[in-house]
Amino acid sequence: MKVAILGDFHFGYDRFYDDSFVQAEQALLRAQDEADLLIVAGDIFDSRTPKQEVIARAIEIFRKLHKKVIVIHGTHERRPQGFANPVDILVKAGLVESCHAHAVVVELGGEKVAVYGMGGVPEEYAKAALERLAPKPVEGAFNIFMFHQNLKELMPQVENGLTMDDLPQGFQLYVDGHLHKSHFIEKGGRILLIPGSTVLTQVRREEKVKGFYVYDTATRKHTYVSIPSRAFIHTTIHIGNNTSFRQLISERLSQLDLTGHPIVRIDVEGDVSGVAQSEVSAVRDQYAGKCHLFVSLSRGTDAEEMHLNDVVHIGGLGVSIRERGISILKEAAARRGVALGNVEEAFEMMCEADDSQLMQYFINASSNNNAKK
């Protein structure tokens, strides 16, 4: 059986809104031509509560598919227990089938493929969640374990990331979402594929090619299928003494092919001390009609992190407002000696629940803490 492995469509992604739909649709339609089964490793949507227009457009795309689609939710879609996430809507509409916390078995031509999934969870709880699920392969089937987390092998700086050694045993193939560049890893007898995102989000040099994997369960071989995507151009300029920043940018852009409104990243090296952020903004505005321009100055800010629309800089580190909010909640709870348990879930409840739901949540949390004492 041929299995198409996709992930991270990020429907509704603000910076490249149309690209998120157009490129995912190209991938899905091509995938159903190339494979017998489609699996999607989370972050189908960019938001936990996408606009109705985003959901409607996603439904239109999935209605065009005639092959079975198995999915999990990602970290962008995860919501507190008892709240529906946008992937649940696709499931309830009968457009996809979720394999979160259980195996979905597909049989074709006498062959069985079983896909067991674990949707995205906070990194600090990933290992515990995996141990609690204790996924087991289905006897007599080709078994795939699909999840949506960071991996230490690729992101060693992530404090709580999973490792390949943490993954459950007995599966013939492992599939991970979350990371936006495609990867193939073979370690300790385990084969893992990461398809990467179908829309460019992180403005990184290595993120130019978008697409998906097709894995053949008979030959145990995989191929990467690229899709048409918005052109991404990366270039560097060097600024010296008495050099005009705007003139250098203009000269370089005049040398580039800006057909089709490409994404352009320009790294500025050299003496950038005299370049004000207002100049960078002015240049971006000037070329907004010709390209999506990202300018990285070599002084701590990096266009690679510009995919976070909600980034704030605290103590020299770029963290999202949401991450900072969770951090503040943890610190406040610790100062007051309050045991919140899953702090990220508590934060989400505070953001999304109404007053009665929130009160009941904290009453239950308090009862659980008292019972443990």
Structure confidence at residue 224 (pLDDT): 97
Rounded CA-CA distance 340/226 in Å is 45
Q: What is the pLDDT of residues 72-83, one digit of tens each?
A: 999 999 887 778
- Phi, psi values for residue 221, rounded to 5°: -120, 155
Enumerate the β-bridge partners of residue 20.
none
Label residue 12 by pLDDT band (50, 70, 90): very high
Q: Which residues contact 338 (CB under 8 A, 6 or more apart)?
A: 332
Least confident residue range of 12-26, 81-95, 219-233, 275-289: 275-289
Structure confidence at residue 209 (pLDDT): 86
Rounded CA-CA distance 254/286 in Å is 13
HSE-CB for 22 with a 13 A CA cutoff: 8
Comparison of pLDDT for 272 and 140, the residue scoring more: 140
Structure confidence at residue 289 (pLDDT): 92
Q: What is the pLDDT of residues 342-354, one digit of tens each?
A: 666 666 666 655 5
2-226 CATH choice from 3.60.21.10, 3.40.50.1980, 2.40.50.320, 3.10.450.50: 3.60.21.10
Helix/strand/coil (H, E, C) string of 17-79? Answer: HHHHHHHHHHHHHHHHHHCCEEEECCCCECCCCCCHHHHHHHHHHHCCCCCEEEECCCCCCCC
Q: Average pLDDT for residues 368-373, to the nearest whole number?
A: 52
Q: Can you give the residue ranges of every domain in the chain?
A: 2-226, 232-309, 320-372
Rounded CA-CA distance 119/247 in Å is 48
Give the residue carrying structure tokens 């949540």. 361
Query: Tell me, what DSSP letter sits at residue 172?
Result: S
Structure confidence at residue 35 (pLDDT): 98
Structure confidence at residue 156 (pLDDT): 85
Rounded CA-CA distance 164/310 in Å is 31
Taking 50 as the threshold, does the pLDDT of residue 28 lie above it? yes
Q: Average pLDDT for residues 42-64, to the nearest whole number?
A: 96
Distance of CA 81 to the CA centre of its chain: 21
CB atoms within 10 A of CB 310: 10
Structure confidence at residue 125 (pLDDT): 85
Structure confidence at residue 79 (pLDDT): 82
Q: What amino acid is encoded at 161 in this protein?
A: G
CA dihedral of 88, 91, 97, 98, whole degrees rounded to 10: 10
Number of H helices, E strands in the chain: 9, 17
Query: Tell me, what DSSP letter sits at residue 180?
Result: S
Q: What is the pLDDT of residues 114-158, one digit of tens each?
A: 999 999 988 888 899 999 999 999 999 999 999 999 999 988 887
Q: How much of the chain exceeds pLDDT 90, in percent? A: 55
Give the residue carrying structure tokens 């515990």. 128
Label residue 302 by pLDDT band (50, 70, 90): very low
Structure confidence at residue 270 (pLDDT): 84
Structure confidence at residue 360 (pLDDT): 59
- Residue 171's nearest CA partner among 193, 149, 196, 151 is 193
Residue pair 34/224 in contact by the 8 Å Cβ criterion: no
Rounded CA-CA distance 343/9 in Å is 28
Q: Which residues contact 43 (CB under 8 A, 6 or more apart)?
A: 7, 8, 9, 10, 74, 75, 76, 77, 120, 148, 177, 178, 197
Q: What is the pLDDT of residues 178-199, one digit of tens each?
A: 999 999 999 988 999 999 999 9
User: Distances in Å between the alpha carbon of 180 and those of 42, 130, 132, 148, 154?
Assistant: 11, 22, 27, 11, 11
Question: How much of the chain is helix, strand and coil, in % rounded to 5?
Answer: 30, 25, 40
- Residue 4's nearest CA partner among 70, 64, 86, 77 is 70
Distance of CA 355 to the CA centre of its chain: 31
Strands 292-297 and 263-270: parallel
Taking 60 as the threshold, does the pLDDT of residue 367 lie above it? no
